[in-house]
Amino acid sequence: GDSVTQMEGPVTLSEEAFLTINCTYTATGYPSLFWYVQYPGEGLQLLLKATKADDKGSNKGFEATYRKETTSFHLEKGSVQVSDSAVYFCALTTGNQFYFGTGTSLTVIP
């Protein structure tokens, strides 16, 4: 079945460091891929998405490229800020339901 595997955390970085959170997927058909972010005590917010191979999603300095050949959708940011501290979820959908990874907790220290 469809599934998402993402890098386990927690991840702790210093402010202005480079961030990569790995995500790979297994899917039948042609999934759309997403990154959602969850701040403490809140629901999930869409961070970025890509709907077909080689698409790059980007938002708030975060980027991820849909790589069909490696079935990956790694999240990157060149310079993280303290305000980026949150839990990040990779997800896919091929239709009615979303499949989420287990989440990667990121803490950015000043």
98 makes contact with another protein (CB under 8 A): yes
**Residue ranges in 10-39 that form contacts with another protein under rule CB under 8 A:** 31-32, 34, 36
> What are 88's two structure tokens?
């990040």
Q: CA-based Rg of the chain, rounded to a whole angstrom?
A: 13
Question: Among residues 109, 101, 105, 106, which one has the least CA distance to residue 35?
Answer: 101
Q: Does residue number 57 form part of the binding site for another protein (CB under 8 A)?
A: no
User: Toward another protein, which CB reaches closer, 8 or 16?
Assistant: 8
Q: How many CB atoms lie within 10 A of CB 21?
A: 23
Nearer to another protein, 17 or 105 (CB): 105
Smallest distance from the beta carbon of 92 to another protein, in angstroms? 9
Cβ-contact 110, 82 below 8 angstroms: yes
The yes or no reply on residue 99 touching another protein (CB under 8 A) is yes
CA 8, CA 4: separation in Å to the nearest integer? 12
Interface with another protein, residue 101, by CB under 8 A:
yes
Applying CB under 8 A, the residues found at the interface with another protein are 4, 31-32, 34, 36, 42-46, 49, 51, 89, 91, 93-103
